[in-house]
Amino acid sequence: MNARFDHLANPVGAKVMKYITSANKVVWDSTLPATTRHLVEIRASQINGCGYCVDMHSKDAEHAGETSVRLNLVAAWREATVFTEAERAALELTEEGTRIADAAGGVSDVVWANAAKHYDDDQLAALLSLIALINTWNRLNVITQRPAGDYVPGQWG
């Protein structure tokens, strides 16, 4: 099974991916906790049905020391007791930010205030950027039907 389109093989696609990757590096170099970054990437990818990203980010999280219990409960984080209040705030912001078209008002003031309670301005900037970036990656992969399952942790740096 192959993707419909190979962005890296196309000059325009490769250039776009280069800039998205550079933006990702800014987020990864921020003070937003790595654990939170992994959870956000996984949850948005689950919502968007991006098998490639779920595979990649789950494997990267596990490789970084995340437990199978927490990884298995990301989709049911509201009912799970294994996430911190800060992680729960990030997951809720991720859900509302990813499902933005489903809510007339976008992200609610309550969800925003909860995230702002747990993260400083630099971390919020990173969190918002991460949510936007993972949604971009998800859409690129879903539209091109990039297959999942073969990712090796750290494959993309």
Q: Is 71 among the domain residues?
A: yes
Residues in the chain: 157
Q: How far apart are CA 48 and CA 8, in angstroms?
A: 22
Question: Could you tell me the pLDDT band of residue 156, with boundaries at 50, 70 and 90?
Answer: confident
Please tell me the predicted confidence (pLDDT) of residue 1.
Answer: 80
With respect to residue 113, please indicate whether it lies within any of the assigned structural domains: yes
Place of tokens 């789950």: 58
Burial of 150 (0-12, 13-18, 19+ CB in 10 A): exposed
What is the residue-averaged pLDDT of the chain? 96
Here the CATH number for the domain that contains residue 28 is 1.20.1290.10
| 148: in domain | no
Place of tokens 């007791």: 81
| Cβ neighbours around 153 below 10 Å, total | 13
> In this structure, is residue 154 part of a structural domain?
no
Q: How far apart are CA 59 and CA 140, in angstroms?
A: 20
- Residue 72 reports pLDDT greater than 90: yes
Alpha helices in 76-145 (DSSP H): 85-98, 109-118, 121-143
- Residue 18 is encoded by which pair of tokens? 């280069």
* DSSP designation for 77: T
Domain count along the chain: 1
pLDDT tens profile 84-140: 999 999 999 999 999 998 877 889 999 999 999 999 999 999 999 999 999 999 999
